Amino acid sequence: MSKKIKPRGRKLKNISDPTLAHSHKKGTTGNFVLTSVDLRWGRYLYYLYQRHGLILKQSLKYYKKTIKLLNQCRQLKIEEKSGFRIIPDDLRNKLEINSMQFLVLLKLGLEYLVAEYQPAIRQIKKYRRESYTDPLDKDVLGDRLKTLKDAIGIKSEIPTQIYTILDRRDIVEHPTTDRLQEGSETGWKTVNLSWVLCGEIEEIINPIVHFVNEFIEKVEAYKKDNPIPGTLTGLIRGLKAGEQYKKPIN
C-alpha cells in the first residue's frame, strides 16, 4: 500500500499592520476563514462553511432531473409485437449521468454531514465528561451516522433507503463487468441504469430527506444548548498578506 502524502502549502507571509487593527465589543461574533495563495494572483480568503447542505441540495436537483427523464422513458411508444420500449441514445445518456450524479453527491453529502458535525459532538461530550466513543474515519458511513444520532438522542432509525444509496453509489463508482452489462434474468438490476428504469429510485428520497432534516435540527439544537467557553490564542492584530499579487484586468 502506498504511503499517503499530506499536501503542504507555501508558508503564509502574515504581517501585523496596526492601521488595520480594530477593537471589538465583548461577545462579538467572529468568523473563521480559510486561505490559499496563488504565486501570481496573491492571497485568497473565504469563510469557513458547512459543505453538506450545498452538496445535498445539488444532489436533489439531479434527483428531480432523473425522475423527469425517467417519466420521459415511460412515455416512449411500446412496440406492440415485442412489448419493449427502446430508449434513444440521447435520453439514455442523460438518464445515466443525472442518476449517477444524484447517487454520488447524495452519498458525498452524507459523508460531509458526518465529518462536519462529528467534532462538535465530540467536544461537547468531552466537556460534559460523558461516556462517548468517537467513530473512526475508516468506519462504515452508516455506522458513523448511527453513532452520532444516538449520541444526541435521535430515536428514529436510519432509513433503509440510505443504505440502498450507499450500495448503489458503490456500483456507480466501482464498475465491474457485471455492473456494466449484467443481462441475466435475475441479475439485471446490478446495472445502474437498469435499476433506475425499474422505478425503485422514485420513492427513495423522501425518507432520507426527513431523516437528514431531523438530524440537522437535533444536532444544531444540541450545539446551541451546550455552549463551550474557549479562548482564542495566537491571533495577529491587523492581519495583512505579505505575498505579491496581480491586480485584476479591468
Annotate 29-67 with DSSP letters as a single string.
Answer: ----EEEEEETTTEEEEEE----HHHHHHHHHHHHHHHH
User: How far is Cα of residue 156 from the mean position of the Cα atoms in its chain?
Assistant: 21
pLDDT tens, per residue, the chain with 250 residues: 567 778 888 888 888 888 887 777 776 777 788 999 988 899 988 899 999 999 999 999 999 999 999 999 999 999 988 999 999 999 999 999 999 999 999 999 999 999 999 999 999 999 999 998 988 777 899 999 999 999 999 999 999 999 999 999 999 999 998 899 987 888 899 999 999 999 999 999 999 999 999 999 999 999 999 998 777 676 777 888 888 888 888 7
Residues 227, 76: Cα–Cα separation, whole Å: 57
Tell me the helices (H) and strands (E) count for the chain, helix number first. 7, 4
Type and span of the H or E element at 25:
none
Per the CB < 8 A criterion, the answer to whether 16 and 240 are in contact is yes
State the pTM of this model. Answer: 0.89
